[in-house]
Structure 1
Amino acid sequence: MTALQQGDVLEVQTFPVTRADLVAYAAASGDPNPIHQDEEVARSVGLPGVIAHGMLTLALAGRAVAAWTDGAEVVELGAKFTSPVVVPADGSVEVLVAGTVKSVADGLATIALEVTCEGQKVLGMPKAVVRA
């Protein structure tokens, strides 16, 4: 693992998300909620369209952490789901994950994350703690 230092600003990671990704995630996670696959159902419950699973969005943040830390042990990963990631029927939408190392102490590094889609934060207070 690359040595993390307090104050390090980590390279932004970009993840495209497609409707096919949502279908695959639904199958893998056991979450077949139609708001993640059916435009009509999503709109009928007040959503702007089909949305990505919140846990898929958090998993993308986890992938960024893994990339930054060469797969170091993640001891904590969390966030609040604040805004949906709307996924178009055709093409993809990009989820961007940025990170800043807030502290390194007692063998642990705490990384403050910023997870956005189309310029809007989609996770509230996201952070990861990894074994340094």
Structure 2
Amino acid sequence: MTALPAAPVALAAGDAMPPHSVGPLTRTDIVRYAGAGGDLNPIHHDEPLARAAGFPTVFGMGMLHAGVLGMRLARWVGPTHIKTYNVRFVGQVWPGDVLAFTGTVASVADGVATLELVVASSSGGEVLRATATAAVAA
């Protein structure tokens, strides 16, 4: 595993975050995150309850992939250089999905990069859109 950037990195508009994928996600992954994150809503692990609520099966909670994206962002720009991180959940993550994490630099001004980030699933396109700002090298 590579070290996290200690100093601000040099970024320019159009630069891309190194692509990364996770999965296929298992029900065990979802249950482990539920326990670690304290989100024990049974809709994420109880098949009959999820179906009764109108879902085809259990599904991952949004904070699971938001957290992985945050980790990828920290590996790209360094955790101490992240100024803002905002996420919007736009789809669901199902057992068996492979998640792809991507990002681009939208702009750089006054030593701060504005970043656009996306998580896409193998079963349904985008599941999360995010924006972030990070201090960058001058």
Give yes or no for TM over 0.5.
yes
2:89 to 62, 71, 81: 81
Cα offsets for 1:27-64 (capped at 9, x unmatched): 12111001111121111111221111111111111122
Moved more, 94-103 or 9-18: 9-18
Task: Give the match for residue 37 of structure 2.
Answer: 29
Moved more, 21-30 or 64-73: 64-73
Q: CA deviation at 1:104?
A: 1.6
AA aligned to 1:93 is D
Contact 1:13/1:97 (<8 A) preserved: yes
AA aligned to 1:15 is V
Task: Give the match for residue 15 of structure 1.
Answer: 22
Contact 1:58/1:78 (<8 A) preserved: no
Q: What TM-score, normalized to structure 1? A: 0.85
Identity of matched residues, %:
38
Task: Give the match for residue 126 of structure 2.
Answer: 121
Q: What TM-score, normalized to structure 2? A: 0.82
Task: Give the match for residue 130 of structure 1.
Answer: 134
Structure index of larger Rg: 2
Q: 1:68 to 1:98 in 2, by over 3 A?
A: same
Task: Give the match for residue 95 of structure 1.
Answer: 99
Q: CA deviation at 1:121?
A: 0.6
Q: CA deviation at 1:122?
A: 0.5
Contact 1:54/1:84 (<8 A) preserved: yes
Q: CA deviation at 1:80?
A: 1.6
Cα offsets for 1:9-38 (capped at 9, x unmatched): 222111123222212211121110011111
Q: Aligned-pair RMSD on alpha carbons? A: 1.7
Q: CA deviation at 1:79?
A: 2.0
After the TM superposition, which parts of structure 1 deviate over 3 Å for at least 4 consecutive aligned residues? Answer: none
Distance 1:97 1:115 in 2: 5
Q: 1:72 to 1:43 in 2, by over 3 A?
A: same
- Return the structure number with greater strand share: 1
